[in-house]
Amino acid sequence: MKKRNIHFRYTIIGDGPLRNDLELQVSELELNEQVIFSGAQTQETVTDYLNISDIFLLPSVTAADGDMEGIPVALMEAMAMGIPVISTFHSGIPELIENGISGFLVKEHDAEGIANIVEDIIKDPSVLTDICQNAKMKIDNEYDQDKSYSRMLTILSNQPLNINR
């Protein structure tokens, strides 16, 4: 994005074993003014960051040992708040995000693909209206705990009890 002369600020929230390597990479690429490492934060602080975010990036990758995450709750939170999300075709994430419908997905390690999406959004932000609405509806309809419990209760209450003694 810097090579494309796109002004951006990327705040990385959280810590992990790769933080030092990432900080070194940011320094080598002369991105210290654009990329901020905020470390682990409280849920309240994370919500504050989300409230001022234009885009939420969560480019998950498969670890060297094959470890993968499932469906990140952080993506659900951003989608529920109406923030456009960009993530990767990784593990369970495509179950949550339908590419171009409720968010955007790229292949793992595809920084160019992420930059292309961001640039497309900058050129035509109107594409986000439907995507953000679809994302909020997806979370509300499929991941809202109260609605899920209510659906389960309805299913269970309409089934005859089968008790074998």
Tell me what the mean pLDDT of segment 152-159 comes to.
64
Tell me what the mean pLDDT of segment 15-21 comes to.
93
What predicted TM-score, i.e. pTM, was given to this entire model? 0.86
pLDDT at position 151 over 90: no
Tell me what the mean pLDDT of segment 6-24 comes to.
95
Confidence (pLDDT) at 156 = 63
Least confident of 2-6, 42-46, 141-145: 141-145
Task: Name the pLDDT band for 55 (thresholds 50, 70, 90).
Answer: very high
Task: Name the pLDDT band for 88 (thresholds 50, 70, 90).
Answer: very high
Task: Name the pLDDT band for 164 (thresholds 50, 70, 90).
Answer: low
> What is the percentage of the chain residues whose pLDDT exceeds 90?
81
pLDDT at position 162 over 80: no
Confidence (pLDDT) at 149 = 55
pLDDT at position 140 over 70: yes
DSSP class per residue in the chain? -TTTT----EEEEB--TTHHHHHHHHHHTT-TTTEEEEES--HHHHHHHHHT-S-EEE-----TTS----S-HHHHHHHHTT--EEEES-TTHHHH--BTTTBEEE-TT-HHHHHHHHHHHHH-TTHHHHHHHHHHHHHHHHT-HHHHHHHHHHHHHTSPP----
Confidence (pLDDT) at 144 = 73
pLDDT at position 73 over 70: yes
pLDDT at position 133 over 90: yes
